[in-house]
Amino acid sequence: MRKWLMSLILVCMFSPAAWADIQVGQVPPVVDLKDKLGGRVDGTPWSSRELTGKVHVIFYVDPDEKDLNNEASDALKKESFPRDKFQSVGIINMGATWLPNFAISSALKKKQKKYPTTIYVRDYKKTLVKEWGIADDNSDILAFDKKGRLIFHKDGKLNEEEIRQLIEVIRKHLDD
């Protein structure tokens, strides 16, 4: 019994999920989405190295939960943050749904029209879930300062207070 318990503890300590969770104040491990892992909707690669120079907000979304945080998206759009200081990124967790890729691509075209300044990215293999330890099969919102440090993170639907907190943390870091 003692050997089994020690083995379980060691597995937990050294499994990627145990140390991959990103924390507020930290820069997450670099993730490159290209080729079979995914990339931008236009087919070009995307890297988390791009999360510098501006305040960035990532919506990491299971397509089955695509409308869960529309209120947060609309609130950010309403703020009209300056484009030279703020960037939004929509990353679609393609591995979290049974929907075919062509159906998701059609929906992305509609989103691109509604949010033309957002960068849309596909994650085919749940890479951010594995590398950053964020929630799977959900709608996650992450905000990063100009140095790429996490300044806000919420899994699931944001309530009104959390939306206000997100907007305030963005405002605070726009001129840092």
62-80 pLDDT tens trace = 999 989 999 999 999 999 9
Considering the domain 23-174 in this protein, what is its CATH number?
A: 3.40.30.10
Average pLDDT, the chain: 88
Question: Residues 105, 126: contact at Cβ < 8 Å?
Answer: no
Minimal CA–CA distance to 56: which of 174, 141, 144, 155?
144
Q: What's the angle, vertex CA 20, arms to CA 169 and CA 170, rounded to 5?
A: 10
Residue 156 is encoded by which pair of tokens? 């699931």
pLDDT value, residue 112: 78
H/E segment holding residue 131: helix 127-132
- Rounded to whole angstroms, how far apart are CA atoms 148 and 52? 5
Q: What is the pLDDT of residues 112-166, one digit of tens each?
A: 787 788 999 999 999 999 999 999 999 999 999 999 999 999 999 999 999 999 9
pLDDT value, residue 109: 77
- Rounded to whole angstroms, how far apart are CA atoms 167 and 84? 17
How many whole angstroms from its chain centre is CA 133? Answer: 11
pLDDT over 70 percentage in the chain: 89
Instruction: For the chain, give the number of residues.
Output: 176
pLDDT value, residue 3: 52
Model confidence band, residue 42 (pLDDT cutoffs 50, 70, 90): confident
pLDDT value, residue 98: 87
Model confidence band, residue 2 (pLDDT cutoffs 50, 70, 90): low
Residue 15 has pLDDT above 80, yes or no: no
What lies within 8 Å, CB to CB, of 167 at 6+ separation is 75, 76, 79
